[in-house]
Structure 1
Amino acid sequence: MRPDPPLPPIRGDDDVVTTEQTLPPRSRIVAEHLAAAGVDTRVVVLPDSARTAAEAARAVGCAVGAIANSLVLTADGAPVLVMTSGAHRVDFGVLSAALGAAEVAMAPAALVREVTGQAIGGVAPVGHPAPLRTFIDEDLQQYAQIWAAAGTPHSVMPLTFEQLRTLTGGELVRVT
Structure 2
Amino acid sequence: MSLERAKAYLKRFGLDNEVMEFDASSATVREAAEAIDCKEEEIAKSLSFLVDGGPVLIVAAGDRKIDNKKFKAEFSAKAKMIPFDMVEELTGHAVGGVCPFGVNEDVAVYLDISLKGIETVYPACGSSNSAIRLTVDKLEKITNSKKWVDVCRIIK
- Give the TM-score range, shorter chain: 0.7 to 0.9
Contact residue 48 and residue 56 of structure 2 kept, 8 A: yes
Matched residue type, 1:146:
V
Aligned with residue 107 of structure 2, among 125, 132, 157: 132
> How far, CA to CA, are the matches of 1:120 and 1:69 in structure 2?
11
Higher strand share: 2
Q: Tell me, in whole angstroms, the C-alpha distance in 2 between the residues paired with 1:89 and 1:55.
A: 17
Alignment deviations for residues 100-158 of structure 1 (CA, whole Å, 9 cap, x no partner): x2222111123311122221111121112325211111121212110011111111111
Q: How does 1:17-96 map to 2 (within 5 A)?
A: 25-39=1-15, 42-96=18-72
8 Å CA contact 1:41, 1:158 repeated in 2: no
Number of the residue aligned with 2:116 = 141
SS, match of residue 142 in structure 1 = coil
Figure out how many residues of one structure are paired with residues of the other and give that number.
151
Structure number with greater CO (CA < 8 Å, separation at least 6) is 2
Give the unaligned 5+ runs of structure 1: 1-24
Distance 1:40 1:112 in 2: 23
Identity of aligned residues (%): 30
Counterpart for residue 13 of structure 1: none
Q: Flag structure 2 segments of 5+ consecutive residues without an equivalent.
A: none
